[in-house]
Amino acid sequence: MPDIVAVLALDMLPMFEAAVATEVWGVDRSDAGVPPFEFRMCGMTADPVVTTSGFSIVPSHDIEGLRNADLVVVPGWHPAHDDPVPADISTAVNEAFDAGARIASFCAGVFVLAAAGLLDGRRATSHWMHADRLTLMYPEIAVDRDVLYVDEDPLFTSAGTAAAIDLCLHITRKDHGSVVANRIARRMVVPPHRDGGQAQFVESPVNAVDDDPIGVATTWALRRLQHDITVEDLARRAKLSPRTFARRFRAAAGTTPLQWLLVQRVREAQRLLESTALSVDEIASRCGLGTAANLRIHFARVVGTTPTSYRATFRRTA
DNA sequence: TGGGATAACCGCCATA
DNA sequence: GCTATGGCGGTTATCC
């Protein structure tokens, strides 16, 4: 049975966010080894839904399409007015959640989850432009305005626009492994992974062009993850002092050099667990984490599970 | 699991 | 006066 993904298309549907979910889960990529998804674009009724771009789209399903969905995506909620989210929308989302669906929001879609009471006492994020309003309206929610997305499985929230891509790939990676997520990312011609904790505000994006010292250093590091790499090594590659390198790295990537490196090493371990039969010890060595014990610590922190159970879950899809 | 050695991080400050 | 840089040292994280 393919996963059923239902997008809740509300009036003033943001086209980009709706298209992100469509691109990730609504396109048949079985030729690339990506498992099929049953994709539903659900309006409250079967009537055309007005988008923020002025034109309308005709949903494939009405609200009944949320029934038995594995994942419900709320790509937006028009935040220009202070009208409360209508009760029938909250009810529909609540019923889907109670029936076992996981719920994900992009950008201002978080207001729909909040109005349904799903986020009380939980962490959540939204586009930085909406963070103040969200905090004001729903003080029970721990709003993290600085991250790309928040995973509070079975609830997910993202900053919207490009961060919606990151959240979709994160959920796909969680459910189907990094090989599948990377295949989708490759087809979409987007970077395979940005960590959820990465800052929404980056002064300049990480880039591998030759005249970007941070890009040069990170590209160099990714090619030799199996070797020892110190922040001083990275700084030397970037032709900067360690202090300046660290400062500019945080400005560019929204995280510290070591934390970035550890996440890259765990991603490499995920790839090796899925695509090889190497021992966990050997994988730890090949991804630069030294020992299996060390790999387990960082693997649990980044992925939320153990290398062995990760392999048991995803080896089949490789 | 605990502890010690080492590296990384970051605020502060001086300098260019 | 403003900004970027880089050294110092206290604190924290990582690794074995």
Q: CA A311 from chain center: how many Å?
A: 21
Name the residue closest to the C1' of C4 by its CA: A244
pLDDT band at A194 (very low <50, low <70, confident <90, very high): low
Cβ–Cβ < 8 Å for A124, A98: no
Integer angstrom CA distances of residue A53 from A16, A85, A128, A311: 9, 21, 21, 43
| N-term to C-term CA, chain A | 18
Which residue ranges have CB below 7 A from strand C? A 240-244, 247-248, 258-259, 262, 289-291, 293-294, 297-298
pLDDT, average across residues A16-40: 93
List, in sequence order, every beta strand (DSSP E) within chain A.
Answer: 3-9, 37-43, 49-50, 56-57, 71-74, 102-106, 123-124, 142-143, 149-152, 155-158
Strand B nucleotides with an atom less than 7 Å from a protein beta carbon: 1, 7-12
Distance between CA atoms of A180 and A131, rounded to whole angstroms?
Answer: 32
One-letter identity of residue A271: R
Cβ-in-10-Å burial (0-12, 13-18, 19+) of A254 comes to buried
pLDDT tops 80 at residue A8: yes
What would the pLDDT profile of A159-184 be if each residue is shown by its tens digit?
878 889 999 999 998 888 888 888 88
How large a percentage of chain A has pLDDT more than 90? 43
Q: Which residue has the higher pLDDT, A231 or A314?
A: A231
**Predicted local distance difference test score (pLDDT) of residue A318:** 46
pLDDT value, residue A156: 96
Query: Are A147 and A159 contacting, i.e. CB atoms less than 8 angstroms apart?
Result: yes
Distance from residue A90 (CA) to nucleotide B9 (C1'), in Å? 44
Percent of the residues in chain A that have a pLDDT greater than 70, as a whole number: 91
pLDDT given for residue A189 in this prediction: 76
Q: What is the pTM of this model?
A: 0.76
Which structure tokens are listed for A131?
A: 């963070």
Residues of A (246-275) placing their beta carbon closer than 7 angstroms to any atom of strand B are: 246, 250, 256-259
Using one digit for the tens of pLDDT, what is the confidence trace for A34-83? 999 999 999 999 999 999 988 999 999 999 999 999 999 999 888 665 67
Residue A204 reports pLDDT greater than 50: no
Peptide bond into A2 cis (omega under 30): no
Report how far residue A123's alpha carbon sits from residue A103's, in angstroms, rounded to the nearest whole number: 14
Question: Taking Cα atoms as reference points, which of A113, A115, A110 lies closest to residue A84?
Answer: A115
- Average pLDDT, integer, range A213-241: 88
Higher pLDDT, A189 or A268: A268
The amino acid present at A165, given as its one-letter code, is I
Closest protein CA to C1' of nucleotide B9, residue: A256
Token pair for A139: 């003080």
Q: What is the mean pLDDT of residues A14-37?
A: 92
Instruction: Give the distance, in angstroms, between residue A256 CA and nucleotide C10 C1'.
Output: 19
The label of the residue with tokens 């079985």 reads A30
CA distance A145 to A220: 31
Of A129, A136, A131, A127, nearest in space to A105 by CA: A127
Residue type at position A188: M
Asked if the Cβ of residue A231 lies within 7 A of any atom of strand B, the reply is yes
Amino acid at A4: I
E-strand stretches of A126-212 = 142-143, 149-152, 155-158
Higher pLDDT, A268 or A39: A39
Q: Which residues pair with A152 in a beta bridge?
A: A155
Overall average pLDDT of the A243-269 stretch: 89
SS (H, E, C) A87-138: HHHHHHHHHHHHCCCEEEEEHHHHHHHHHCCCCCCCEECCCHHHHHHHHHHC
DSSP lists the bridge partners of residue A71 as A5, A102
Phi/psi at A7 (5° precision): -95, 125
The per-residue pLDDT for A196 is: 65
CA of A252 to C1' of C2 (A): 22
The pLDDT mean for chain A works out to: 87
Residue A211 pLDDT > 80, yes or no? no
Are the C-beta atoms of A122 and A142 separated by less than 8 Å?
yes
